[in-house]
Amino acid sequence: MSRTSTSRRSETRLSRIELRSPECSNEVDLAEVASFLSSIFPSVSVKVRPAPLLNVKASSREQVAAYLASSRVKDISKPIEPSEPMYGEVDYELRTLRGDARIGGIVYDGRRIEEILIGLLRSSNELETATIVMTDRFISTYSQDDLRHHLRTVIPGFPSIISVPGMVEAPAKPRQYYMLKQRLASTGGESLNIELLKRTFKGRFLDYGDPEMTEVAKGLALQAVLHHLTLKPFCADKKCRLFNAHWQEDLLGSQTGSPGLCPKHSRRMKRLGENPIVSW
């Protein structure tokens, strides 16, 4: 072996991307997300695999359920502190793990969910594999900037987590939406009002059932893979698919229509696509 190759730091090449299905929704066409990633990383095997939180061994379910229950964000103004969950909360989580309870409404601390997933994915979570876990749960992280929890669309990590309801609920809708919502609230007729709001602001925010759900998921999945390779998943350019949108209009602007990458990321992604080396 030559001196150059022995003195070089050992390189890890990304060889697999595992896209884990959400627990029950079919809002996102995962096969389409997988083929999008394959088109960018042709040498990487991209597979869709089942939801880790639906495939927990029976012997570990109690423990995972208790951890999930204690990962609920109950006070958005404080970082989460481990607490003893209530019996009913653990029981509900057990039913979600068995696929017997509908998931929704509860917000979980993203970093604690990541810890659970690390435990569940242990065998397949080496650096050659980038794992992206899609979930039907709401996830949030605590921000030191304004000292509160924020719902997230994606939490880049090992694995990365993409929240399907987060795509709809995490980025804020247009300001006028909330103003009109507040005005309508006093008139009653909640379901009529929601319909009216949706009609008025059509195309300005993502909603369940929209075909754009899959387009948005593609961009978030790409952010997750870029994080795995470089630890730098986001871009400041609002027209780039790597833009970390906090507003729905920016999310749709960066991920739908004719979405693409900024010139810098186009070049970087082309290089990474040809040679997907983990470089950090």
From 15-23, 164-172, 199-207, 229-237, give the range in contact with Zn ion by CB under 5 A: 229-237
Contact range with Zn ion by CB under 5 A, out of 64-72, 102-110, 211-219, 240-248: 240-248
**Contact region for Zn ion (CB under 5 A) — 26-34, 85-93, 133-141, 265-273?**
265-273
Q: How far apart are CA 208 and CA 167, in angstroms?
A: 9
Beta carbon of residue 254, minimum distance to Zn ion (angstroms, whole number): 9
**237 lies in the site for Zn ion, by CB under 5 A:** yes
Near Zn ion by CB under 5 A: residue from 114, 265, 269, 272 = 265
The nearer residue to Zn ion, 162 or 242, going by C-beta atoms, is: 242
Beta partners for 13? 277
Per-residue b or e along 240-261, where b marks 16 or more CB atoms closer than 10 Å to that residue's CB: bbbbbbebbbbbbebbbeebeb
What the block records as the tokens of 194 is 């929601």
Q: Which is nearer to Zn ion, 164 or 224 (CB)?
A: 224
Q: Is 272 near Zn ion (CB under 5 A)?
A: no
User: Is residue 242 involved in binding Zn ion (CB under 5 A)?
Assistant: yes
Closest to Zn ion by CB, 207 or 237: 237
**Rg value, the chain, Cα:** 20
Nearer to Zn ion, 1 or 236 (CB): 236
Q: Please tell me the distance from the alpha carbon of residue 44 to that of residue 131, in angstroms, as a whole number.
A: 13
Alpha-carbon torsion angle 165, 169, 171, 174, nearest 10:
140
| DSSP string of 24-83, one letter each residue | S---S-HHHHHHHHHHH-TTSEEEEE--GGG---GGGHHHHHHHHHTTB---TTS-----
**Shortest-Cβ-distance residue relative to Zn ion:** 235
Closest CB to Zn ion among residues 121, 242: 242
235 in contact with Zn ion (CB under 5 A)? yes
Q: Is 40 in the site for Zn ion (CB under 5 A)?
A: no
Binding mask 184-223 for Zn ion (x = CB under 5 A): ----------------------------------------
Least Cβ distance, residue 265 to Zn ion (angstroms)? 3
Cα–Cα distances in angstroms (integers) from residue 111 to residues 149, 152, 169, 218, 261, in the given order:
12, 11, 19, 22, 28
Q: Is 250 in the site for Zn ion (CB under 5 A)?
A: no
Amino acid at 39: S
262 binds Zn ion (CB under 5 A): yes
Nearer to Zn ion, 107 or 225 (CB): 225
Q: What angle do CA 44, 48, 51 make, to 5 degrees?
A: 135
Q: Which one among 113, 240, 252, 269 touches Zn ion, defined by CB under 5 A?
A: 240
Residue 171 near residue 246 (C-beta atoms within 8 A): yes
> Which residues of this chain interact with Zn ion, rule CB under 5 A?
235, 237, 240, 242, 262, 265
